[in-house]
Structures are given as structure tokens and as C-alpha cells.
Structure 1
């Protein structure tokens, strides 16, 4: 009731002043130059070429503000009595308030126009937001290492790239939110960039890395706000083209890889794109259009090399290798029946046999269309349509090329926005609706194999597999183990480290993501002990995914030749008395630990290998809504307090096909909502002070709480009952030995359900996940503080500190060795929820139900024994910005930051598992030791320098040079071991980060452009972008695997952490058997441990041309 009364007062008193997510504002104070007194009644007109002007009057304190200004350059004109003063080249950024203060010389004679060409300060005196704004000049004149806006995000201080995008302020890249023209376009499944707009269509990019107000939420990383170009009263546009041939790419440095019989390296064949963009009036001063179209093409050349091992060398006393002599040692040679090992690397010595090129191709077509309408300057609307169809093909690499896949996608966005200034400009209302959609389809590279299972072959060699699956005659001859064999005492071409893939592509998809969103905001300005700018709003999102569960041929086969054949398939289950015809099979599994007497036999449907068939499309849904209110209170023109609160709710729902079915863990029917996150109050408070009183400085501080929006990958994994049915067979049951495989073909067992799996039958996922009562939302708290000062005109310096830390995390965990999963807040389960569950147990009379609840209680209590997730980010940033018109621009930053803790966030970088809120970290409690330390994001020193300069030769053209320099600390190194159940890199054998970090890295990119004017106001430009010009390929990643899941020779191994251990302790690490018991056998060491496993891109160049008009 109180909030409603407040809103009524605001509506009655207010004068609207605000800017939307796609616009900015200009504000200032006009004073008398002689007396310093405020001047009320000054007429202020803001105008820009080709767009309608806007007008305001200064109030009693001489203050004014004009908002809803599209990003760009403006002229501000002041009229007072008979004085006219005009200030040009005033830059307005998206979501930024540009301060334009002015002292009028009222004693000056009137009648003339005083023109001042002086840029306004680059400081927003009303906002505590940290980050950077990138305009179209930056995108055009800098060597951006990519063609979409994501490639430019690394310019923000405190940002760094990771495996899925750009991360900000110690977070992962999956914790950001992305907006295009005010509409959320973040990918729904994981949280990646959803709509990759190409740079030629972009007017401005706002990157907020911290300190953002209550208008923004659902992010624990950064906010990226992209504003595309719009039409005006002038026809403007360009035609552009970019070409990156493989010939302009330097030779990539090789990284050591333990010898398998197939090596694959990928090189760019070419990348090309071209297009046009055009904007102009439909009806002058009323209706404008903008349209852009840009096809893009790429080819990747994979060099596929086959090689064989040798048995003809020995290690000499001086640790060097002898010459090759393939005779037996007993006959005076060096052959001893074991493959040669290089003593320097520990890798097998190999000989190259043959190589071939296999090509991958991609093509996409970017389209953007926009219409802007102004009924009046106070009533404006916008409609935007964006589409990106794409397709490509990927050949098989470790097997026949026909085993690859083809894909096609369509990303589309439709949005509409309306802004109204009502009641004599006393009320401003903005409403936005939008739809973001992504379709993704995958099919077989060779259509004939669409209905063929993918079969992964282990425990064999190219000498057996090559002739039947299309390897070259040279490879088949050199790999054959026969009488003509050069090295008859070894297997020439073993495939121990890498499997060989035959058959179809495996997963087939018809995936869909769709977000329908709407937001409405109201802004008022109230004079009471200063000026209050109060903004309130509400937004809602209906997020839907359809995830495909379909395998080519209906199954996936793992064939350990001669030992065991595993057949895996997607299934859906039903009760044994279910009458539906499609549940025509019987599937078996093991009971859950919480209910040993639970059913283990179900009717089931082996899901079809035809995507779209019944049961293969699983629908997930999450409903988000939020409301916020914030007040920007200017006590004086140079003192501002921002205070606000945001409330969020998230409702994660069970997959549609589960609702009403019986939950096998709880024996209760599934409802609609699986997890409801309520009570997510996120307060924000900030204070700013401008000691110059002219907008040339600010000292600020901000505290805020930010909640995560859980991606829909969690819905599919935890609330969609993804069931994989594993059936393991003795090879003899699958038929006679196939000479092309060296043992029986697993396809026979996959095709005949009547063959009983004699080794194992088990369903994974049949019991879903328990949800701990009282689970609360994941959030972090942030403190930022800093100062900015315009030392001289157009030179801004900044100093800031930032602290971020998790307050609570949502993860799935297990207390019984990964047999039962619980969605919970690790380390935290409330006593209140425990009391409620105990009361339920006490009131339950059924013995089986009571036992089940008691087992759940025992597990929920153990949630508290986990270490609470920690991620602490502490940063100091120094920044500068120098701008002189559109000809000279430079910016730089130095960030000293530490990111420490035991939980990196939504990406598990150490084992490369990308399952937001469902990583493997809390699945095996015995592996939690040694995880506290510097996280993978910990790069203490990061230097960024950007700049460009245009020298105008007038009628002889103009020359532009741009420079982009980066230097940063290397990543922490670790010693990781395997777990017999979860595979590689699950165990921190030593405490995180105690064995140093990779080397310091740096790189320099250059842009060179020459443009020349043409008749009829046109201009042509050619340019060259050079990347990593001194070819420092450095260390992008280090092999942290001390011991792999399979040692040389193929046997499985596992290891537990050495709590508090040192590097010297690694030689004493012993193998853990399948029962978790330590054995006397030392763990098998990875010969590539601590070596470079990935490098940065080599030097390369890109050429281009642009015609503007």
C-alpha cells in the first residue's frame, strides 16, 4: 500500500527525465559567468544532423536534462535573452549522461551566435557503473579480432576470454546478460551470446562490468548492451567486404602430443564476408528505416596425418637416441619388441606415413531491419527484426570422413519499443516486447548414415581398421602387421590414446530455444531536498527449450574390441502396466540408495533415431519475472545518491512429459514447478561527488547484490529425466568376428533387443534429482569505489577498486558416491527446513514412506559437511581515455586482480565440463580436498592499450592507423588426476595453484587504412588488419593432467588428492581401485604434464574495403 501511495505522489509531482537502455542523455547547469548565479529560463536545444531536435528549459537552479537521445554526436544550443551560444561535437553514449555545463556571459552584446567547438567531459556524474562504451568509430578503426560484437568485448578493463566467450570481473562468460536494442538475447541453454550482430550494423556497445543499478539483473558477470544503427533524414550507408586468406596466416607452432596413429591440425583456408547497410527517411521527420545484409563464408582445412611407431632405437649412455637399426638386439640391431620412446619428451617415436586434407565449411547470412517512427517528439516507436541463418559441414577426422555431420541454424529476434512523454512531459513511459529464438539442427554428413549407429572402436590399430574404413593405401601398407613389416616385433599403428569412429554422426538434433520477454518502465523527476529521478519497472520472460534425445540408428556403441561391447540409447520409461503401445520394451536398473526396495524393472521406449519422433523432443520451461525501483537523488548538482532494490523470481519447471508421472525417488507425482526461487531481493546503493561542479570529476562508491539466472541446461539435466540405458555384452553375443574390426561388430547387439546383455544393464537418470527443501537463489555481493577526473580537456583518468564474492551457490551434489543427486546450496541447509521435514516424518505412518523420508533426511543433513563455494575477486584498476574528435582516440587500462576460492562458477575450467549449476565438483566428496587457491580466472596483471589516429591529407585522402596491445599473466598450473567413475581431471592431487603459473603473454595488432573522397559525398577505403604481428603464439593452455584416466597400455587408473601435498609428493601417489581402496601400484604419469597443450593463434592478416555514402 505504501509503495502505491508513493507512486501516486511521483506521478502527480513529477517531470519526466530518463534514458532507456538504447539511448542516453545530456544534462548540466547554466550559470552567470560573472556572478556564478544559476540562470533559470534558459532555452536548451539539442540537435543532430538528420534527426528532430529536442528542447528543455533550465529550472530555478539552472539545471536541465534532455533524454531519449540516440547514441551519436550532438550540437547543444543555449538561448538566453538575446544571447545564443552553440556547443558542437557533444558525444552521447548509450545509457550514459553527458555533462554539459556552461557559464553564460550575460554582459556580452547579443545578436551574434557564439560557436564553441569543445567536447563535453567523458564522465557520467550520475552513474557508478564500471565499464566502457565502444562506438562505431572504434569498431571501424581498430583491429578487432572478429566480425561480431563479441570480439570487441575484451576492450573492457577487467575482462578476459574463456572457452565460451568473454568473462568480466572474475566471473565466467556464462554469467553475463546480452541485450540488443533493449531486448534480452542471451542464449537460453547455457547463457552464451545468443545473437551475434556483425560490427558494421552497430552504433554503440555498452559494457558494464560492475556497479550497475536496479534496472539490470539476472547476471553475476557483466551486462552487454548493443545498440544497432538507425535511419535518419539523410540517406547514409556503406558497402563493405573482408577477406582473410590462409596465405596470410603464419605457420602454427606444434604442441607435443603423445603419439597416436592419427594427428589432426586445423588451419584456416579462408574467411570472407561482404555486405551493405543503408538507412534513410521513409517520411521525413516521421518515419525512418535501416537495413543491413552481410553473408559470411569460412573454410577450415584439417591436415590429417597418419604415422607409425618404430622399434629400432635405443637410448645411449649420454641420453641421446641411437640411429635406427630394425634388427633384433640379439642380431646386432636395436629392436627389442617395445616401441621407441624419446627420452626428452617421454613420447613414442613415430614415422609419418601419409597425410590428407579434409575440409569443414560454414556459411551464414546476417540480416537486420529496423523502422523508427516519431508521431511527435514525445511519442516514438521502433520495430527491429534480426535474422542469422547459417549452415555448415564437419567431416569425421578420427575415422572415415563420412562419419561427420552437417548442421543448420537460425537465430532470429523481433522486438518493438514505444516511448511516451505524457502529461506535458511530466510522465515518461517505455514499453518493450521481444522474441528471441534459436533453432539448431544436426544430421549425418552422409545421408546414407543417418540411420546408422555411431560406433567408437577401442583396443585396436589402423593396421586392422584402415583397409575396411577408407584409409589410404600407403597407410594400410605401412600399418599392416605382416611378413613385410619393417618393425615386426611391435604393433605399428596402435590406437590406444584415441578412439576410431565409424558409422553415423551420433547425436541428431532438432533443438529450439525461445524467449518471449516484455518490460515496462516509468520514470519521474521530483524536486524535494534536491532533485529525485525515480524509476520503477517490471519485466518478465517466458523461456522455453526443446532438446532432442535422438541418436543416429537409435543407439551409440562403444566397442572395446575383443573385450566388451556397450550399447547406449536414450529411453523413456513407464510403469509396467502402462498401456501405451510405444513402451514395448523392458528396461532394468539398480535401486537408489534412498529406497533399496524401489522398482528396478520398467516398461520403456527405445527412443527413435528420427528426430521429432514421439518422445525425442523434451520441452523445458522457466518463467522469470522481476520488479525494481530506484531513486537517483541529486542533493546538489554535484552530489548524487543512487538507491534502489530489485526483486526477482525464477520458476524452473519439470519437462512437460513428466508432469503427473511418479517420481521414482519420492514416489510422488511430478508437479509443474521443479524449483521456485523466491525472495530474491537485490538492494543497490551508490554515492557520487563531483568536486569540480562541472561534470569533470567524480568520486563514487557502490554496493550491490546480484542474483544469477539459472540457464535451462539445468532444466534438461535435473528436471527433464534424461535417461541413458547402458547394456554391456560379451563380444561373442554380437556375432562372428568382423575382419574390418578385428572382433564382432556391436551393431548386431544394438539392432536386436532380444539379445540379453550379460555383463551389465543399468539406466542412468531414471531417478532424477532430489531437491533439497528451501533451496535459495545463487548470488554475489559487490563493492566498487573509485575516482575519475578529466585532467585536461579530453583526457580522463580513473582509479577504482572492486570486490566481488559469492554469497550462495546452487549446485547438484551427492553424498553417496554419485548415486543420488541433490539440487542444493552446498554447505548450507537450514534448521527450519530440517524441522519441517522431521515433522513430516513424525506424521507419516506408512513404513515404506517413512523409511524413504528418513533416508532423505540423512542425505539432506550431509549437505552441511561440504565446503561452501567460494570465489573472491579483488581488483585495482587504472584507466585513461584520450579523445580528440573522430580523428584521435586512445584508451588504456592496467588491472591488478586476484580471483581465489574453490569454485570457479558456471564453467568448470579444470575438467572442461560445461554444465551450469550442475558441475562434477560436489558429486564425489572424497575429491574436494586441495581445491582452495587461485582459480583459473586468476590472471593478476592485465595491460590493455587501444588507439587510433587519422591523418587527413584533404583531397589526397586520409590515412588511419590503429593499435591494439594486450599483455597478461599466465594461468595457474595444477596437478590433476582421474577418478574411475568420472574420468580425467577430477582429483586435485596437489593444492590448487601451488606449482606456479604459465608464462606472461602479450600480443600486438595493427590496423592500417587509406580512404579517399569521391564525388557526391562518397568515400572509398581500403584497409589491412595484422594480428599478433610478431607471431608470439605463447601458451594458451597447459596440460594439467598429471595422470590420465587410462595409462599407456590402456588400463584404467584413479587417484585421490594428497591433502596439502607438494610437487615432490607426486611420485608417491598410488592408484585407487574401483572400490575406492588404495593399491600398491604407482599412478601412471602423463608424459605431457606441465607442457603447453594449446597456443594462441599465429600471426595472420585480413584485408578489406569499404564504400560509404
Structure 2
């Protein structure tokens, strides 16, 4: 096969041992090459594929460093007095890492070469970061689903969470960051998701699970860092067909309350690419187009509606690399992941006959680009500059929007009846404009790294309900007999809430930061680093005024790496750091716009012939407390002195090289989350009874403009210690009985990780990890997966003090045990097999109630009332169900396997791969209904409690055929 000799040479160079350890930190859009040589010797690094060449001179101690090297294979040549000494050495520079090539300590030993840092098992004794690197070549050998999150899940300590996200180290799925070629492509609207780029566009991934350096911020979870492919001096082209046919899918199993047997899909993609030189050794291109066809088909849980979808939007991507000289590089990246999913919906009658109802459209993605400059200004001083724009659309509409009316009978289920085509009409475009500068300056034993970055994140947003712009919801009258603060009419057993929600505007957030870091090679055994990142977040309202603004957030980070024998075979390392999380744009939009949330309550008099509720007498006044359609005076709705959300992390680890191919390691992690920013209903301000929601830090001081003379108008700023006050307690008769406050948010993650790794040698490779972890507290993060609340920072967790009162326990992303394995074996040059295993224990289960034993609030809590729950009862009985104490869901085992055939035909390389995912076809439950009592139904048990709401996807097969020329 082509390139086999090059790969083998690179591997065995990488597996050699190192005897010195100069600083080996690398940039995070490329890599670095460092090492030791005779003092004053010159070292030349050349990429034979692109002709890029740089030469540096070793310092007085014999250290040399090439920063900001594009990822790839290089030959390294030492010379003395203008004459080459020894043979060139082949090394591989990987993403975010440094390759160490030690070329001897004197002129007489320049032909003694050792290399570390280029293989998967090699110990980088100067790094304190926790990261997993995975190349496109390794992914070709494994059964890995073709998306970046599935790649990230190969790293230890990560679990697939709710809302299509991944949890890093106990964090929620809304706390991560994703970068492509240095451009941040993370969804900033809700912080769940990122730009969708095909597998074939990527060259290498790096998954940062902890201890990442100061150029990274705005995350309390983890980082997925990736670089795309680039052109070389060799003209190359090819095609790849990936097919997931429906006939290779097992039937999704039905469960109680959930019909899934009609769920299936057919997915096909055809990728065409070409790359090569525009000007040899100077200007290169890589271009790709992927034609895609995705046809999902599924029913709702009760098979009352059926949906037939189709998406056939193509992806295009391009990369231009201009090597202006050996001191100046320019890179241009552009891609489009625009996509539209068109779905026909059908009503299904009792006989199973489907009748066409509507067609909906879901538009996602956008056009992205970036321009990056790298300057090697001197042998010791280098810089990078980047500017780019990232776009994500989210447009949801349907053909029947103007005629559709939404109706829910929540006495039965949350499913819609009547017109079910589309629950909202949304038009949103999120655009990020990002700029950053990064510098490296080598000063003897100190490597200084510093820089700054700025992001302007703008959301253009317009949303409404379909039809007349509101929806009907039918509820049972609670046991108190009061709705909307008013007694219901005699004989009324159910009521209707009509809700009109509208919002439109342009919302901007500015995030900025600067950082400084010193990496000090104290001895050949000990490296210390100390850095600081200073951040600022400025979320603005629809009028362009600052809504939530936090400046001068100082994030210190410290680390060490100790190589006891100074031979590169062992290290003890550790780091401690602070990481801040920005406020998602959804907060600006939902809390700081011209938001209308008009709720009107009526007695329920049955359904009309069109399934629309017949409205009886109105109950109480119209409620516009959540928004009256105007940009409010936000001084009365947001803490004037907000504290940011941040997490402190401590890691201590050990790694050891067992042989040239085998290594093992252990890592201990402790993470602690500080603060939350969430909406809280304030009903007592220290002067008056009030009723408003404020964005604030639960359990901390709240400074807000409020009413101090009880005339209903805000007249002065007040300070409310929400750990002690802010909530007025009433009994069932409406009597004020006391004042209380909120519990403080808490989340801690403790884990031990064990890893064993065997590097690929063209015959076989193996990696295994085991993670023992504990995630505890009362705050999962800015989204809640146990209550299915995905608006980042607007959860129910702190709406009132009782939601989280006595709510400490194991959190939803707690998985006590995780076992991950992956491996490949090559029988010969033509046949390979691969396998992956992800086994983890189940998440904890809670039981949520609808009231509390302290006042008459009926909403959401960990207290369940039974019996004696009527208003006339002299003493209601409540039982505390501590968070996460109602057992655990079962273990899940996700086993994948593949077989690959490879063959060369002249200049063509053929690869045929057949992969099976969830080989055991386990469809175990991974999410259940945790509401033991119905909301607004004190004493009314939920018949669906404990029923599954999510399951593993069934077994399916995938066929990949690629030809490269």
C-alpha cells in the first residue's frame, strides 16, 4: 500500500526513547517540534509533502524549538559548521502536541537520535494537559459513528447525555467548546451543538478532558479540537460512498407507552475530493463536496402521528494554504453545512390508516470561514493571527402554520391533539465574528505564551406559536381549588390555560479575554507552568444595552510535570485551574427582549368539534408577569452585581512506558462548580410582597431595582440575600407564614481513570480505560436532563426555593463505572478487523413531587404528598425522596465491530469497510419519567412514573467504499 513505509518509519522513530526533556508545549491549531542538540548547531525541519522548511539555531544549552508547525510528517536534519551530521530523521507532528527529537548533546553524538511524542502511547513528560488525540487514519480502522461527538466519546470520562450532547467529567452537555482550525464553532445560542462537518473533511481530532491551557476558555466541560485536511505537492483525488440502508437496521422495540417499531431511516453520502499544488512548494488547495441523502421515518409514542422526512442538502468545504516563505504562512478555510429537513406528517387512525396532514421544514447550518496567519518572526518569537465567522441557522416552519392551532390535554399526556404539525414558528440566525492573536517567546529556560481573543455573537430571532399565535392547555384543578391565585367556579374540575408567546429582535453578546503563561523548565526532570486568563462577558438586550455584564474574571492555572529518571519513560504530573462559563444567548433572547408571554385561564367546558377547548368563565386576571411584549426595565429583572459561573479543577496523574509500544496511566480528578445563573421567582424584597423573575445567583446576594413603598412601582435598588430571604411563604388559606431563601447550587465530580494503550505498528493496536466517578450535588448545570429542560440557564432548578430544597444527591450525569475499549488487528496487508466497546452503569433515578411541607406552593420538589393532601386536611403528609435514591437504570453496552478490505490497483487505493453498531442489539432504557406526582396535581400520582422515555438505538449496519488516487 502507498505510504506504508513512511508510516512504519515514523512509528519506530516515535517509539524510541528520549534522554532530555526541553519544553514541549504546542499551539492548539497545529503542533510543535522541540529537542536537544549540540550548542550552536542548526536544525532544519522539512515537510516533504509540501516543501515547507524552517531552520533554527540551538541555544547555548543545546535546546531548539519549532513552534506553530502545521500538523504533518517532517524530516529533521542537524548540521554543524554548514555540514550535515547524521541521517535525516522522520517525525510526525500531531495536533496540540509537541514531538521531541533529541539529536545528541555534542558534535560527536549528533548521529544519535531519539524521538518521542509522535506515537499514541508515548509519554510527553513536559505536558500537564489531559487530552486524547485521534487521527483520521485511526478512525478508518474502527467502527466509530461518523460525527465529532462519537469521536470524543472514545476518550475516558465522557458519557452521551441529553439533547444530543456529551458530558465531560460530570458537566452538563451545555458546557463544552468545539474548534475547527482554531475557529470556535460552538452553538452560542444554547451551548448545545456545533457546526456539522463530515468525517472526511477532518485530518485529526484532539479531545481535551481537563487541565487545558490558558488560550482555551468559556467552558466548564471539555474541548473538541479538530483540524481539517490540506493539500500537498501530490495531486490527489478520490471518492467515498457511505450507506446506512434501512434493511441493515433491526426493528426498534416497542415499550409501554412508546411505539417505536415504525422508526427507521436510510442514509447515504457520496464524498468527492481533490487536492494538490497550485504552485509547487508554495500554494495548495483541498476541496470537497459531499452529496447527502437522509430519509428518517418515525411515529410518535402512541402511533397517532407518523412522520416521513427527507434531507438532501450537500456539504462543501475548501482549504487554501499559502507558504509565502519559510517565515510566513497563510491559511484560508471555508465550508457550508446548510441543511433543510423536510418532513411530511400524517394522522394515524385506529385502523392504522395514515392521512396526510402537513409538511414542515427545519433549516440548520450555515456558511463558515476563517483566515489565519502564522509568522516566525525570529528563532525565538512567533505569532498567529486569526479572524473568522461562524454561522448557524435555526428556522422552523410548516405549510399549515397559519391554520394550525396547538392543543394539549395535559390531564392525559403532553402530546398535542388537533393540529399537531408544528409547535412553533422560529426564524433564527446566529453569527459569530471571532478574532484572536497568539504569541510564543522563548527566553532561555522560560517559554512565554500570551495572547488575546474576542468574539461578537449575534442572534437575529423571531418566534411565535402557529395559528392565531397561542396554544390551549387543559389541566386538572389542583387540590387547593385555586387557579391563577383565584378560586375556580363551583363544579369546575378542569381548566384551560391559553398561552401566547412572541419574541423578535437582534441580540448580541461580546466575549473577550487575554492570557499570559510562563512555562519554566526548571531542570531536565521538572517543568512548571503558571498562567492566567482574564475574561469578560457582555450580554446585551434587544436595544443593544448591556443586560448581564461581567468583567475581570481571573482564571489562574498552574501545573507541573516530573520525570523521575529524565529518560522520558515515566512522569508524575498535576494541574489546578479555574474555568469560566459564559451566559448563552438564549438568556438575552428569552429574558431581555420584547418578550410576550400572555397567559389567560378559563374554566374548561369540554372540546369542540375541531378539538379546540370550549372556554368557560375566565379565572383571575391575565398574567403577563413573564413578559408584556416590551423591552422591560431590566434593572428590575437582573442582578446588578452578577457573579459568574466557574469551575475549579484539580488533577493528579501518573504515566509509565512499559515497553516501546505499551504504556499505562492513572489520573485522579476533582471538579467543583461554583455558582449558577438562573431565573428565580422573587416574592419578597425585604419591604414588600412582590412577584417577578430575576436572573441572579441562587443562594447569593441579589441587587435589583424594586418596589420599596409597596405602591407597585419600582423605586429603589434593594439587596436581597437569597440564601435567607426572597420568598414569601403562604399557607393553603393564603396567609403569610414566613420568609425563606434558596439553597446554594452545588456540583462536585470526583473520579479515578485508568488507561492502558498499545500503539499501532501496522499489525495491531489496543486502548482500554476504566473510570470510577461520583457526580453529586443539586445542580446539574445550565440545562437539566432529569426534567428535560434544555434552555441553557433558564431551568426549573431554582424557580422557587423548594425545587432544590433537600435536593442533594447523585446527579443525572453520574455514571459510577465506565469501561471503554478499542482495537484493530490486521491479518495482512488486505484484511483488518476493528472493535469498540463502551460499557457504563446506568444513571440514578429520582422521584419528583408537586409540593412541599413548608408552604402551599404546588410546582416541583423532592417531596411527595400522600395521603391527606386536600386543602381541608389539618396536616398534609409529605415524604422526602432524596435525589437519585430511586435506584439506577441498567448498565448499557455499546459494542461495535467492523471488517475492512484494502487493495491497490496501480495508483488507486481501494477500501471497503462493513461496520455494525450496537452489535448486541441492546435497546435498554437510558431515560425514564421521574415525575411521581403530576405538576399542579398535589397528591395525584403520575401513572407514567418510571416508564421509559429514551432507549438505546437498535443495531444497524454501515457500508463504506472509498477509492483514492
Q: Report if TM-score (shorter chain) is over 0.5.
A: yes
Q: Map Cα deviations across residues 476-521 of structure 1 (whole Å, 9 max, x no partner).
A: xxxxxxxxxxxxxxxxxxx767441317634212211011110012
Shift of 1:936: 0.8
Judge conservation of contact 1:403–1:502 (CA < 8 Å) in 2.
Answer: no
Judge conservation of contact 2:23–2:527 (CA < 8 Å) in 1.
Answer: no
Aligned to 1:90: 91
Shift of 1:764: 4.0
Superposition map of 1:1026-1065 within 5 A: 1026-1045=916-935, 1053-1054=937-938
Q: 1:772 to 1:440 in 2, by over 3 A?
A: closer
Q: Map Cα deviations across residues 324-365 of structure 1 (whole Å, 9 max, x no partner).
A: xxxxxxxxxxxxxxxxxxxxxxxxxxxxxxx99641222332
Of 618, 625, 640, the residue aligned with 2:505 is 618
Q: 1:740 to 1:637 in 2, by over 3 A?
A: same
Superposition map of 1:801-880 within 5 A: 801-816=668-683, 819-829=691-701, 852-853=715-716, 857=720, 862=725, 865-880=741-756
- In the alignment, is residue 415 of structure 1 matched against residue 370 of structure 2? yes
Aligned to 1:1076: none
Of 623, 643, 647, the residue aligned with 2:530 is 643
Partner SS, residue 725 of structure 2: helix
Shift of 1:274: 1.1
Judge conservation of contact 2:117–2:124 (CA < 8 Å) in 1.
Answer: no
Judge conservation of contact 2:862–2:883 (CA < 8 Å) in 1.
Answer: no
Q: 1:725 to 1:986 in 2, by over 3 A?
A: farther
Judge conservation of contact 1:99–1:123 (CA < 8 Å) in 2.
Answer: no
Q: Map Cα deviations across residues 64-91 of structure 1 (whole Å, 9 max, x no partner).
A: 2222222233333334576643465523
Judge conservation of contact 1:87–1:118 (CA < 8 Å) in 2.
Answer: no
Aligned to 1:486: none
Partner SS, residue 637 of structure 2: strand
Judge conservation of contact 1:726–1:760 (CA < 8 Å) in 2.
Answer: no
Shift of 1:918: 2.0
Shift of 1:551: 3.0
Judge conservation of contact 1:1040–1:1089 (CA < 8 Å) in 2.
Answer: yes
Judge conservation of contact 1:967–1:1000 (CA < 8 Å) in 2.
Answer: yes
Q: Map Cα deviations across residues 842-862 of structure 1 (whole Å, 9 max, x no partner).
A: xx9x99599743777587962
Superposition map of 1:672-711 within 5 A: 672-711=545-584
Aligned to 2:17: none
Q: Map Cα deviations across residues 422-442 of structure 1 (whole Å, 9 max, x no partner).
A: 2x4343121100111112222
The structure carrying a bigger helix percent of its residues is 1
Q: 1:1044 to 1:785 in 2, by over 3 A?
A: same
Shift of 1:702: 0.6
Aligned to 1:1107: 963
Aligned to 1:546: 460
Q: Map Cα deviations across residues 724-765 of structure 1 (whole Å, 9 max, x no partner).
A: 223445678x9xx85454875x8xx9xxxxxx9676522242
Judge conservation of contact 1:188–1:514 (CA < 8 Å) in 2.
Answer: no
- In the alignment, is residue 992 of structure 1 matched against residue 879 of structure 2? no
Q: 1:116 to 1:93 in 2, by over 3 A?
A: closer
Q: 1:66 to 1:794 in 2, by over 3 A?
A: farther
- In the alignment, is residue 1084 of structure 1 matched against residue 947 of structure 2? no
Aligned to 1:384: 333
Of 17, 30, 35, the residue aligned with 1:28 is 35
Q: Map Cα deviations across residues 659-709 of structure 1 (whole Å, 9 max, x no partner).
A: 7xxxxxxxxxxxx11121012000011111223424333221111011001
Q: Map Cα deviations across residues 372-403 of structure 1 (whole Å, 9 max, x no partner).
A: 11110110001111101211123446676424
Partner SS, residue 151 of structure 1: helix
Q: Map Cα deviations across residues 600-626 of structure 1 (whole Å, 9 max, x no partner).
A: xxxxxxxxxxxxxxxx63211111111
Judge conservation of contact 1:75–1:86 (CA < 8 Å) in 2.
Answer: no
Q: 1:458 to 1:1003 in 2, by over 3 A?
A: closer
CA distance in 2, matches of 1:820, 1:1013: 70
CA distance in 2, matches of 1:28, 1:54: 15
Aligned to 1:510: 427
Of 413, 436, 439, the residue aligned with 2:393 is 439
Give the alignment's TM-score, normalised by structure 1: 0.74
Q: 1:823 to 1:987 in 2, by over 3 A?
A: farther
Partner SS, residue 802 of structure 2: helix
Partner SS, residue 150 of structure 1: helix
Aligned to 2:166: 166
Of 250, 274, 278, the residue aligned with 1:278 is 274
- In the alignment, is residue 458 of structure 1 matched against residue 321 of structure 2? no
Aligned to 2:41: 41
Q: 1:458 to 1:245 in 2, by over 3 A?
A: same
- In the alignment, is residue 568 of structure 1 matched against residue 499 of structure 2? yes
Judge conservation of contact 2:42–2:55 (CA < 8 Å) in 1.
Answer: no
Q: Map Cα deviations across residues 1020-1067 of structure 1 (whole Å, 9 max, x no partner).
A: 11110011112222232233232334xxxxxx612xxxxxxxxxxxxx
Judge conservation of contact 2:748–2:775 (CA < 8 Å) in 1.
Answer: yes
Aligned to 2:729: none
Shift of 1:973: 1.6
Q: 1:983 to 1:237 in 2, by over 3 A?
A: farther
CA distance in 2, matches of 1:243, 1:938: 35
Of 802, 805, 828, the residue aligned with 1:926 is 802
Aligned to 2:360: 405
Larger radius of gyration: 1
Q: 1:176 to 1:233 in 2, by over 3 A?
A: same
Partner SS, residue 456 of structure 2: strand
CA distance in 1, matches of 2:612, 2:699: 51
Q: 1:524 to 1:503 in 2, by over 3 A?
A: closer
CA distance in 2, matches of 1:946, 1:655: 49
CA distance in 1, matches of 2:467, 2:86: 76
Unaligned runs of 5+ in 1: 1-14, 31-37, 308-354, 461-494, 572-615, 660-671, 750-755, 1046-1051, 1055-1070, 1072-1082
Judge conservation of contact 2:41–2:58 (CA < 8 Å) in 1.
Answer: yes
CA distance in 1, matches of 2:637, 2:302: 48
Shift of 1:242: 0.8
Aligned to 1:770: 637
CA distance in 2, matches of 1:48, 1:934: 53
Aligned to 2:351: none
Aligned to 1:72: 72
- Taking only aligned residues, the RMSD between alpha carbons, in angstroms, comes to 3.4
Deviates more, 1:98-107 or 1:796-805: 98-107
CA distance in 2, matches of 1:228, 1:805: 34
Aligned to 2:893: 1002
CA distance in 1, matches of 2:397, 2:677: 35
CA distance in 2, matches of 1:894, 1:806: 24
CA distance in 2, matches of 1:814, 1:914: 19
The structure carrying a bigger strand percent of its residues is 2
CA distance in 2, matches of 1:722, 1:739: 33
Partner SS, residue 646 of structure 1: strand
Q: Map Cα deviations across residues 225-277 of structure 1 (whole Å, 9 max, x no partner).
A: 1100011111123310111111111122222128xxxx565522311111112
Shift of 1:208: 0.7
Unaligned runs of 5+ in 2: 1-21, 349-354, 476-491, 685-689, 727-739, 865-879
Judge conservation of contact 2:700–2:721 (CA < 8 Å) in 1.
Answer: no
CA distance in 2, matches of 1:617, 1:927: 31
CA distance in 1, matches of 2:469, 2:299: 30
Aligned to 1:718: 591
Q: 1:738 to 1:935 in 2, by over 3 A?
A: closer
Q: Map Cα deviations across residues 832-873 of structure 1 (whole Å, 9 max, x no partner).
A: x79xx9xx99xx9x9959974377758796269322111111
Q: 1:401 to 1:887 in 2, by over 3 A?
A: farther
